[in-house]
Amino acid sequence: MLIGKAQPEDMVLHPIRYPWAYDLYNQAVRNTWFPHEIALKEDLDDWAKMTEDERHAVKFLMAFFNPAELIVNRSIALGMYPYIKAPEAHLYLAKVMWEEANHCVAFEYVLETFPLDRAKVFSTHLETPSMKAKEEYVFKYLRRMTETILDIETVEGKKDFVRNLVATNIVMEGIWFYSGFMVALSFRQRNQLRNFGSMITWVLRDESLHLKFGINLVHTALEENPELLTPEFANEIRDIIIEGVERETAYNKDLFPRGILGLNADYVNQYVQYVTDRRLEELGLPKHYNAKNPAKWMSTATDVFELVNFFEAQNTSYEVDGHASSSTKAKPVEVAKEAE
Amino acid sequence: MEIYIKKRDGTREPFNADRINRSIERACKGLSDPISMVTQIATETRLTLYDGITTEEMDQATINASVQNIKEDIEYDRVATRLLLKTVYRRVVGEFENKEETLEKMHRDGFIRYVTQGVAEGLLDTRMAEKYNLERMADCLDIERDELFEYAGLSSLLNRYAVKDKEQQPRETPQYFFMRIAMGLAYNEQDPNAWAKKFYDKMSRLEYVAGGSTNIHAGTPRPALSNCFLLEIHDDIEHIAKSVADVIKLSKASGGIGASITKLRAAGSPLSSNNTTSSGPTPFAKIIDTAIRAVQRGGKKKGALCFYMENWHYDFPEFLDWKHNAGDDYLRMRTANTAVFLSDEFMRRVANGSDWYMFDPKETPDLNELYGDRFVKRYTEYALMAESGKLRIFKKVPAREQFRQILVSLQTTSHPWLTWKDAVNLRALNNNTGTIHMSNLCTEICLPQDKDHIAVCNLASINLATHVHNKEINWSKLESSVRFALRQLDNLIDINVLPVKEAEAGDKENRAIGLGVMGFTDTLEKLGIAYDSDFAADFADRIFEFISYMAIDESANLAQERGSYSHFAGSGWSRGKVPIDTLARLERDRGIPLTVMKESRHKGLNWDVLRQKVTKGMRNATLMAVAPNANIGLVAGTTPGIDPRFAQVFSRNKISGKYLDINHNLVLDLKNMGLWEKVRDEIIEAQGDIENISDIPEHIKKIYKTSFTTSPFAFIEVAARAQKWVDQALSRNMYLETRDIDETMKIYQTAWEKGVKTTYYLHMKPRHTAEQSTVHVNKAEKMGKKGFAAAFSRKVENHPTAFGGISKLQPSLLVVSNTDEEEVPLPDEAEPAHVPEEVEEVVSPVRMSHTSSPAPFQRVHIADTDHVAPELSVKESSQKKQDVGQRVGESEMREPSPVAEVAVAKRPVITVEEVLAMSATAGPEDPQDQFICDSCQ
């Protein structure tokens, strides 16, 4: 069982029951990057030329992302880690938490480098109702994991686990973040904030794995706890996701009170709906919006391999692999037989 | 919302869809399906508009809308290019009011205005007006050649190379640009007008393209036209300081720099001035690394430099760490690149498992100057001295272990690049003035330098792809391209003004040029040849032999016309040697044969005649060097240098923008087969690798491989065969999927065995990329998981249901709201807002039978009796009913949520039909879901 109260037997990594979690851990380690690898000088030159509306969008994004990365960490630490038994999942979550911290510091690094009223950016998430509403949404599901006594061995406890997982991982990381990434990368597409764009590419690369983990976790939880497989719980989960989208919709109106070249609130919200349909399908739920992807240019931003002229831009596809050697070849991960 | 456009003069006018449509329509003229293209672009443009958008942004919005459709059909590239051209014409030649017939004339007249005003404003060299008959030059311009561009190329050209006004907008159309370069390189000809026209015709037809610095500075009052500089940092503080200054000045002149630091004494080495010790090369390199960041080359890109070190240097292990992303920032080079200069002795020691010694250059000062057998002799002596305690410091590791470390570093940080000192020096015809200590930033230059000479190279590249007609190379056209390009490059040297006197000396005395080739893979594809076939290797052999022959012949002609370069006497040329002759010397010195095929594959070139001819004089110390052409290849719309296709579709991250690169040759082949529309999404989903797309025939797959599915040995083979004929070197980008170090060692050893002089950047195939956005993605599907869909399963078979096998049509979960037994209390804000009447509204046919139920909060979920998993007991099941009922009741009393003002979406209850339909709908819309992309796991 992946979720439940950890027992003494759960303290050893081997045999690995959930190889996907261990694979994710290894890939995440290879994806390690640091904010200082990104030089922001050219972006500062762009910043000077940007319009007020464009700058507002960037500031607003960072005002959301900076605390959001920490909120995700809280949710992992308090709402996921304690209720998961498998050590391989713990390994990965430990790396995820470092990554979220790293993302937070990366946004911090941008905030420190750009000429901004930092105090104002930092307080935006407390003062903007639409942004507050997003944070409250996550806290709402997290609160049940922390403030009331949760018995993870009960059906209701497991449901709460899944609810929180969906709110944090699917909605926050898998929908809200993706909409933010699209907006951030759109600047790169217009040849602005190239290095910030490289950083976002790295964050997105990490987040893609987080999401993969979350989706694996949901599916495993459902498979191992068939009592969760009811239409009403399915409906409830779907509704949790839709509620998240509604909060995102309101937020995007504050992100783009007017529009900037290539983007406006409706456009972003259509993208949010498109991504949401994808998330619903990934959970085994029907599409809700049937929205088309308005941002076809994202194929250039994320869908294909990127060829970087190394003296022009940061290569974001590099991986660190300190232990590369002939001995790493085909070292099979031990896989426990499905204990059924 | 009504949308107003802000015009250039600040006034506002309502958005006029018709006008935009008409302008898009003009850009779609002559394409296969203009009407649907106009509709598509107009609709997508509309999506991105906002009130107060400016006219320029409006133009950009239509361009962006076209660009994002290129992945659907390359004809959108044409539209985007035309729309972009339109904005340039409007700005440069003036409002042409959509009267196409006057545009050509305005374009012609505008050129004369551009040159005269440009000279007056100090943007252009006065010779641009003095030396030429501008009317005549303007008549040569052919605006129709603008149709040769692809969008990414045009955009890069304008962004990177065009002369700009104060607002950073181009002052040139593409044809003005080519003419500026042509004129800017023909000042000193007897008939400048005639030669400028010849150069212009070649470049504007994209038959060859000048190097980056030339493109930026030709025809301007500051003609720093050279691309590459090679300098060495000597082991004294004065020279280090001077080198920092030189690096800054050369970077400013937009050159890429190779800098050897092998001579710098090791960390801990005593200083003579006092009793302290040296800090070694790293801190000094760091100064230079920081310095190049400060300089913006050509205004936009920061300086670029590659450090070279020989691997016998005591601090070589530290050098290997320079590019790691973690660690003390003061010990890391964030901007500069690194390359290692390896000796044959090292490669032999790797092969036979011997030890490798590292010395302090302070104690072994002559090693850096030696190569071939003389290096071996001295190195062996030093090793003996070390073992007998006669050296102050040394390090020893198994050679194989160091080679492994080099490759591990290469794999994880893409540095250092591997280059081979002995192949470079023993095959050189130009090192009569001294040892070659390094290559350059892009590892294609092999020039000697010394304290008084910074080596300089001037580049241009032949675009092979524009020399293919009807599956045939047009050899006479290729010959004239080589000859004109060579002459143009030789002209450049006398016009060139360099900011450092040692560089001036190096340039003027050696007149080194590097004519390269691009479009190699593009050409192979047009001829139907696979990159990793013997045919491709033979083809490279043939092409490079021909170009080399013509280049040498032309330089010998120029020597007769204009005189030889200063150091001709004593050069290999003066002894009647041509590059192919030097293979024997390298073999002799190594004592083992090179494993490259050594004969000629081109019939009919009489090398003996040429050998005779070169003894009489050569105009240039070197002639050929195959640069990577990452930018000018893009401008010319072809594959860069000798590179393979990175992938059939990929994105290029450039200073001028991020572009989707899609292989037009492949698209056209697939269109001809009627396959394109069927497979285009699959190609993107597979990240440009067509190997596993079942609809594409095998013969196509063989030709269109990606850089990661092509055998790395093919990269080596093509480079080795070309290298036979090339007097300098080739930027040999490497691409590997394997991370097996033993295999990687074998690949690089093979390169050495075949006599390859240098390798360049190593691209590793990413094992994991971000989630794709525009193609169908369903991670659960790939895991084979059903998720919540399992809750709606229709399986009726033998398992007992919670309700004991009640008929399938009968309702199973009627949830009654007034069940008020105790249950786990839940914080109410977690409740999804189910409004009863919504339930009523969306009742599906399956649930119709229950709508008559009187209970106000009756929740009808799924009609199937058997959706409840078999493990679920009746007790649990009824408990659940209560839960849900309770919560639905609660939700009634809830306060509206803070975001309630957002229209609450209708949330119909999920039906079995919807769930069952899921797998069906995924199919037609996204035909690629049977293909499993395994990039991560």
Residue A86 CB partners (closer than 8 Å, separation 6+):
A2, A10, A17, A18, A21
Q: Residue B330: is its pLDDT beyond 70? A: yes
Out of B69-78, B442-451, B617-626, B855-864, pick the least confident: B855-864
Q: Which residues contact A107 (CB under 8 A, 6 or more apart)?
A: A62, A65, A66, A69
Average pLDDT on A186-211 reads: 91
Distance CA A162, CA A141 (A): 10
User: Average pLDDT, stretch B769-773?
Assistant: 85
Q: Which residues of B touch A242 (CB under 8 A)?
A: 905, 907
Residue whose entry in the numeric block shows the structure tokens 């070292």? A331
Q: Do B824 and A143 touch (CB under 8 A)?
A: no
- Residues of chain A in contact with residue B682, where contact means CB-CB under 8 angstroms, are none
In contact, A199 and A110? CB cutoff 8 Å: yes
> Does A175 reside within a domain?
yes
- Tokens 């979960």 appear where? B813
- What is the C-alpha to C-alpha distance for residues A179 and A200, in angstroms, rounded to an integer? 12
Q: Assess whether pLDDT exceeds 70 at residue A274.
A: yes
pLDDT average, residue stretch B869-889: 42
User: B125-163 burial string, b = 16+ CB within 10 Å, else e?
Assistant: bebbbebbebeebbebbbbebbebbbbbbbbbbbbbbbb
Alpha carbons B780 and B700: distance in angstroms, whole number: 32
Segments of B189-281 assigned E as strands: 208-210, 228-232, 256-260
Rounded CA gap, B506 and A327, in Å? 48
What Cα–Cα distance (Å) separates residue B876 from each residue in A97, A226, B654? 36, 12, 60
Model confidence at A303, pLDDT cuts 50, 70, 90, reads: confident
Which pLDDT score, from 0 to 100, does residue B685 have?
A: 92
Nearest Cα neighbor of B416 from B277, B260, B549 is B260
CB–CB contacts below 8 A, A to B:
363
Q: Please tell me the total count of domains within chain A.
A: 1
Tell me what percent of the residues of chain A surpass a pLDDT of 90: 71
For A311, the closest chain B residue by CA position comes to B304
- Whether residue B728 has pLDDT greater than 80: yes
CB atoms within 10 A of CB A131: 22
Interface contact flag, B649 A23, Cβ < 8 Å: no
B868 interfacial to chain A (CB closer than 8 Å) = yes
CA–CA distance, B433 with B570 (Å, rounded to integer) = 9
List of E strands, B179-262: 208-210, 228-232, 256-260
How much of chain B, in percent, has pLDDT values that exceed 70?
84
- pLDDT band with cut points at 50, 70 and 90 for residue B882: very low
pLDDT in tens, B649-689: 999 887 777 889 999 999 999 999 999 999 999 999 999 99
Output the domain CATH number for residue A226: 1.10.620.20
Report the b/e string of B520-557 with b at 16+ CB within 10 A: bbbbbbbeebbbbbeebbbbbbbbbbbbbbbbbbbbbb
B window 87-146, beta carbon within 8 A of A = none
Q: Which residues of B touch A179 (CB under 8 A)?
A: none
* B21-42 confidence digits (pLDDT tens): 888 999 999 998 898 999 999 9
Q: Is residue A112 part of a domain?
A: yes
B468 in Cβ contact with B524 (< 8 Å): no
What whole-number distance in Å separates Cα of residue A198 and Cα of residue A185?
Answer: 9
Query: What is the Cα–Cα distance from B220 to B228, expressed in whole angstroms?
Result: 19
Asked whether residue A23 is domain-assigned, the answer is no
Lowest mean pLDDT among A331-340, B351-360, B661-670: A331-340
Per-residue pLDDT, averaged over B379-404, amounts to 97
Instruction: Identify which has the larger pLDDT, B451 or B784.
Output: B451
Structural domains of chain B sorted by starting position, each given as residue range(s) with its CATH number in brackets: 4-202 (no CATH), 228-626+712-764 (3.20.70.20), 641-703 (no CATH), 779-928 (no CATH)
B815 three-state secondary structure: strand
Query: Looking at the predicted structure, is the pLDDT value of residue B302 above 50?
Result: yes
Coil vs helix vs strand at B827: coil
Beta bridge partners of B296: B302
Interface test with B, best of A232, A255, A267 (most B CBs within 10 A): A232
> Catalytic residue positions of B?
440, 442, 444
Nearest-angstrom CA–CA distance, A160 and A163 = 5
Residue A317, pLDDT score: 63
pLDDT > 90: what percent of chain B?
Answer: 69
Q: How many CB atoms lie within 10 A of CB B591?
A: 9
The residues with which A3 forms a beta bridge, in sequence order, are A84
CB distance B49–A306 less than 8 Å? no
Give the model's pLDDT for residue B839.
38
Q: Which residues of B touch A36 (CB under 8 A)?
A: 329
Task: Give the per-residue pLDDT at B428.
Answer: 97
In terms of average pLDDT, the best of A294-308, B135-149, B263-277 is: B135-149
- In angstroms, the separation between the Cα of residue A10 and the nearest Cα of chain B is 24
User: Using CA of residue B397, residue B398, residue B404, residue B407, what is the dihedral sign?
Assistant: positive
Contacts of B203 (CB under 8 A, 6+ apart): B178, B181, B182, B209, B210
pLDDT (tens digit per residue) in B489-519: 999 999 999 999 999 999 999 999 999 999 9
| Three-class HEC string of chain A | CCECCCCHHHHCCCCECCHHHHHHHHHHHHCCCCHHHCCCHHHHHHHHHCCHHHHHHHHHHHHHHHHHHHHHHHHHHHHHHHHECCHHHHHHHHHHHHHHHHHHHHHHHHHHHCCCCHHHHHHHHHHCHHHHHHHHHHHHHHHHHHCCCCCCCCHHHHHHHHHHHHHHHHHHHHHHHHHHHHHHHHHHHCCCCHHHHHHHHHHHHHHHHHHHHHHHHHHHHHHHCHHHCCHHHHHHHHHHHHHHHHHHHHHHHHHCCCEECCEEHHHHHHHHHHHHHHHHHHCCCCCCCCCCCCCCCHHHHHHCCEEECCCCCCCCCCCCCCCCCHHHCCCCCCECCCCC
Token pair of B94 as six digits: 């003036």
Residues contacting residue B689 through CB under 8 Å, at least 6 positions apart = B647, B648, B706, B708, B709
CB A283 within 8 A of CB A170: yes
Rg (CA), chain B: 34
Give the mean pLDDT of chain B. 86
The chain B residue lying nearest A167, using CA atoms, is B830
Q: Distance between CA atoms of B368 and B720, rounded to whole angstroms? A: 26
What average pLDDT does range A19-46 have in this prediction? 90
pLDDT at A10: 86
Does residue A7 belong to any structural domain of this protein? no
The Cα of A87 is separated from the nearest Cα of chain B by a number of Å equal to 19
Q: Are B935 and B768 in contact (CB under 8 A)?
A: yes
- DSSP letter at B143 equals G
State residue A123's pLDDT score: 93
Contact A222 B905 (CB under 8 A): no
The pLDDT tens digits for B583-628 are 999 999 999 999 999 999 988 899 999 999 999 999 999 999 999 9
- Tokens of residue B200, six digits: 């212009």
Instruction: Give residue A253's domain range.
Output: 34-305
Q: Is A336 inside a domain boundary?
A: no
CA distances from B158 to B49, B163, B369, B770, B887 (A): 25, 8, 44, 31, 63
**Partners of residue B301 on adjacent β-strands:** B297
Q: B696 exposed, middle or buried (CB, 10 Å; 0-12, 13-18, 19+)?
A: buried
Average pLDDT of chain A is 88
CA A35 to chain centroid, in Å, comes to 17
B772 to chain A, any CB pair closer than 8 A? The answer is yes
Q: Report the predicted TM-score, pTM, of the whole model to 2 decimal places.
A: 0.84
Contact B880 A232 (CB under 8 A): yes
- Is residue A328, in this structure, part of any structural domain at all? no
B80 lies within 8 A of chain A by CB? no
Contact between B787 and B780 (Cβ < 8 Å): yes
d(CA B475, CA B207): 13
Sequence-separated (6 or more) residues with CB below 8 Å from residue A61: A180, A183, A184, A255
Q: Tell me the per-residue pLDDT of A95-145, one tens digit each, with 9 for 90 and over.
A: 999 999 999 999 999 999 999 999 999 999 999 999 999 999 999 998 878
Q: Is the pLDDT of residue B828 over 50?
A: no
Of A209, A262, A304, the CB nearest to B61: A262
Nearest partner of B735 among B661, B643, B649, B630, judged by Cα: B643
Interchain contact, B68 vs A309, CB within 8 Å: no
Reported as a pLDDT band with limits 50, 70 and 90, residue B339 is very high
- CB pair distance less than 8 Å for B411 and A315: no
Residue B875 pLDDT more than 90? no
Residue B758: C-alpha distances to residues B298, B444, B531 (Å): 27, 7, 20
Lowest mean pLDDT among A202-216, B107-121, B775-789, B915-929: B915-929
Average pLDDT over residues B571-591: 97
Q: Inform me whether the pLDDT recorded for A328 exceeds 60.
A: no
Per-residue pLDDT of B619-648, as tens digits, reads 999 999 999 998 999 999 999 999 999 999
Any idea what DSSP says for residue B420?
Answer: E
Least confident of A254-263, A300-309, B235-244, B753-762: A300-309
Which of B322, B338, B648, B768 to probe by mutation at the A interface, max A CB count within 10 Å? B768
Contacts of B617 (CB under 8 A, 6+ apart): B556, B559, B560, B563, B564, B568
Comparing A19-23, B551-555, B814-818, the range with the smallest average pLDDT is B814-818
**What's the burial of B887, exposed, middle or buried (CB within 10 Å: 0-12/13-18/19+)?**
buried
3-class secondary structure, B935: coil
Q: Tell me: the pLDDT tens digits for B200-233?
A: 999 999 999 999 999 999 999 999 999 999 999 9
In 3D, which of A50, A263, A20, A247 has the Cα closest to residue B784? A20
Q: What tens digit of pLDDT does each residue of A49-92 get? A: 899 999 999 999 999 999 999 999 999 999 999 999 999 999 99
In angstroms, what separates the C-alpha of B166 from chain A's closest C-alpha? 14
Residue with tokens 């545009």: B103
What residues in A contact B781, CB-CB < 8 Å?
A: 281-282
**Smallest Cα distance from A280 to chain B, Å:** 9
Q: Is residue A108 part of a domain?
A: yes
Q: Does B773 reach chain A within 8 Å, measured CB to CB?
A: yes
pLDDT tier at B97, thresholds 50, 70, 90: low
* pLDDT value of residue B844: 40
Distance to chain A for B520, nearest Cα, Å = 18
- Sign of torsion, CA B495 B498 B501 B505? negative
Please check whether residue B71 is in contact with residue B32, taking contact to mean a CB–CB distance below 8 angstroms: no
**Least Cα separation, residue B649 to chain A (angstroms):** 7
- CA B467, CA B482: separation in Å to the nearest integer? 11
What pLDDT is attached to residue A318?
A: 65
